[in-house]
Amino acid sequence: MKIIDFRSDTITKPTLEMREAIAKAEVGDDVFGDDPTINKLQKAVAYLLGKEAALYVPSGTMANQISIKSHTVPGDEVICERNCHIFNYESGAPAFLSGVTLNLQEGYYGVFTSEQVEAALRPADHHFAPSKLVCIENTHNRAGGTIFPVEEMQRIREVADKHGMKIHLDGARLWNASAATGLHLKTWTDLADSVSVCLSKGMGCPVGSLIAGSAEFIDRCHRYRKVFGGGMRQAGLLAAAGIYAIENHRERLKDDHANARLLAETFASLTGVKIDLDYVHTNIVIVELTDKAPFDGPGLAEAAAGQHVRFLATAPDKVRLVTHLDVNREDVEEACNRIRLLWTV
């Protein structure tokens, strides 16, 4: 039986065509700025995101952390959403690397409001840490791939401008938000001072993320990339995969979204499953199990694994499935059949 793996969109392996692009890449020492393929990728991503410059870095975590470092000084405060990646999954790095505190806001499917930001801001009084940065995640990973509404981001931008704060957009899956809505990436990035994007998720690359922003900001990021140990040499081999993905893997994200919808609808039809289909926006499906379901989260993940359908239990009553380049429509239909069967035995 074929293994169908929905654990994450990071598990994809480079396609043959991507490997060919990697093999042909022209390279140089990027610490000297000599790698033509990295330079080309940075230029292309800066253009796509509507920013003056971009910087290639090894991971999304490094992209976010260099951005936070470049926007703040130790003792500053950063406003972000409670379930965001920066707070939950980056190993405490904002405190570790930048010496900042996080002022966490309760979101609804990852979305917090301009009113919350306004209320969270610290007054200019020496009892308080200065609020310097707001971080927004789009799409929101832990909330289930949800898209941050442009109108709310616009209002947060106004609050940030009024109070001299910057905005960093954690756009690890911004590609998905754009593909799902048909809106240009710039719809969101125009409202942010800095943006991070990942190539190693839905885009199917083995490695790589970028930060984009003003030339002056990216110059500061370049320094911190060296400080954090992220300066690479002939990494054009990796950047070539990124260029290939930007040219060939963006349109097909819509297939991942259609596949996620099919999974969500299948689960929604089963006893004891709670899932709000209005909040399945992109390639992540979070399935909540009630007392009426024959399994709890870990039990379901284990039973499905027994049928070679893999996904993660993310809470005692939740599992998460992520669609990606390495599962096609047939695989997803087959997985749905196997999942339905689990409810009949």
Ligand X SMILES: *Cc1c(COP(=O)(O)O)cnc(C)c1O
For ligand X, the binding residues (CB under 6 A) are 59-61, 64, 85, 137, 141, 170, 172, 198, 200, 209
Nearer of residues 105 and 200 to ligand X, judged by Cβ: 200
Show Cβ contacts of residue 43 under 8 Å, excluding neighbours closer than 6 positions.
54
Placement of tokens 């590609």 in the chain:
175
Structure tokens at 78: 């950063």
Handedness of CA 254, 260, 264, 266 (dihedral sign): positive
Least distance to ligand X, CB of residue 153, Å: 15
Least distance to ligand X, CB of residue 123, Å: 30
d(CA 245, CA 249): 5
Least distance to ligand X, CB of residue 122, Å: 25
Cis before 139 (ω within 30):
yes
Structure tokens at 326: 């390495």
Least distance to ligand X, CB of residue 197, Å: 10
**Cβ-closest residue to ligand X?**
60
Least distance to ligand X, CB of residue 102, Å: 14
Nearer of residues 224 and 295 to ligand X, judged by Cβ: 224
Nearer of residues 85 and 261 to ligand X, judged by Cβ: 85
Least distance to ligand X, CB of residue 283, Å: 11
Least distance to ligand X, CB of residue 162, Å: 27
- Residues pairing with 133 in the sheet: 78, 166
Placement of tokens 């885009």 in the chain:
203
Nearer of residues 53 and 205 to ligand X, judged by Cβ: 205
- Residues pairing with 319 in the sheet: 287, 313
Nearer of residues 170 and 193 to ligand X, judged by Cβ: 170
Cα-to-chain-centroid distance, residue 310: 21
Q: State the DSSP H helix or E strand holding residue 306, giving kind and residue range, or none if neither.
A: helix 297-306
Nearer of residues 85 and 222 to ligand X, judged by Cβ: 85
Q: Quick count: other Cβ atoms within 10 Å of Cβ 226? A: 11
d(CA 25, CA 19): 10
Q: Is 82 helix (H, G, I), strand (E, B) or coil?
A: coil
Nearer of residues 264 and 322 to ligand X, judged by Cβ: 322
